Chains A and B, each alone.
Chain A
Amino acid sequence: MSSEQTTPTPELVDPRGPRFGAAITSVVLALAIILGPGWGLPLLILQTVAFAAGALLGLSYQPYSWLYRRTLRPRLASPTELEDARPPRFAQAVGLVFALVALAGVLVSLPTLFYLAAGLALVAAALNAVFNYCLGCELYLLGKRLGTRPARTVANG
């Protein structure tokens, strides 16, 4: 016997697409950080636009996902299973927030903010690429808990 209280999935994606995207994201962010807030800015803007497209328009508009579908997927075997598009899309939204903070760091000439936000985005992207682990998704539940009960101390556990 099994019961499910979650709603059925509207949009499905090949799970290898987001992971491929996370690998590209890691490289772009790493290069942007190495080049620094000045020379790295175009790359940071590129990444911000990519995150924004994935988060706001959907994964099919995410440029790296598009690249995956156009170049890699035709050469690969069809995926063993499809995945709900909502988790990877949520991850794009979390990435977008970090990228925007990093951009703000450049705009207000706070290199520390740029490095910190871009560095955290890189940690999340690398975790996704290497371990298929979604840090943003984990923060989701914590955010919900904090959002509902702001004054409550978190139980030990």
Chain B
Amino acid sequence: MTGVWIVLGALVLALAFGGYRQLGDGRAKVERTGRQSHLDAARLGDELGEQATFVQFSAVVCAPCRTTHRLLSEVAAEEPGLAHIDINAETRLDLVDEFGITRTPTVLLLDSGGVVRHRIVGAARKSEVLGALQQLVSRPAA
């Protein structure tokens, strides 16, 4: 009988955790003002976009990173002034630590000044990406 309960418990746990992740993943969250920090081209090793920059943290073992990469490249190609920088998280554990990246993909959306304004954890959704972008472009950094 023990086994049946363990199986039921495991399935409930999986469904609850998966459902919870499904709801929150891929949404753009505004970075709280107190925590907003700043990244520049020198640290990223790549030029920032004039309007905004997607800094994506990826891992080799991460499948949703590929879909996110494709989506962000597409968006960055469509609009001028956008840059998309995809970082292999393993190689930049300094940034992973500094920005509290707990899993991949995580995308930081930087404004024209390199300040982190939004954060998307999990496979990014297009509507969320465009929504966050709109906020940045219509409300440029001071």
Contacts and interface: CB of A to CB of B under 8 A. Distances in A.
Nearest to B54: A2
Contact of A5 (B6, B83, B87, B98): B87
A141 B102 contact: yes
A103 to B, nearest CB: 16
Contacts of B22: 131
A141 B7 contact: no
Nearest to B82: A1
Interface residues of B, number: 50
Interface majority SS on B: helix, strand, loop or mixed?
helix
A123 interface: yes
A51 B66 CA distance: 24
Given A126-B10, A130-B15, A141-B102, A36 B2 contact: yes
B101 interface: yes
Interface in A52-92: 83-84, 86-88, 90-91
A122 B3 CA distance: 12
A154 to B, nearest CB: 8
Contact of B77 (A2, A134, A140): A2
Interface residues of A, number: 49
A137 B102 CA distance: 12
Contacts of A155: 97-98, 100
Given A34-B4, A133-B18, A140 B59 contact: yes
A54 B49 CA distance: 42
B72 interface: yes
A54 to B, nearest CB: 14
B90 interface: yes
B3 A84 contact: no
A2 B6 contact: no
Given A3-B46, A126-B10, A145-B96, A138 B77 contact: no
A36 B66 contact: no
A137 B69 contact: no
B58 to A, nearest CB: 6
B134 interface: no
Interface of B: 2-4, 6-7, 9-11, 13-15, 17-18, 21-22, 46-47, 49, 58-63, 66, 69, 72-73, 76-77, 82-91, 93, 96-104
9 contacts: A1-B82, A2-B84, A3-B84, A87-B62, A90-B61, A126-B14, A138-B104, A142-B102, A149-B97
Given A33-B7, A133-B18, 11 more contacts: A1-B84, A6-B88, A83-B66, A87-B61, A136-B61, A137-B59, A141-B101, A144-B93, A145-B97, A152-B97, A156-B100
Q: Give the top 7 A-B pairs by smallest Cβ distance, nearest first.
A: A157-B100, A126-B14, A131-B18, A2-B73, A34-B3, A90-B61, A2-B84
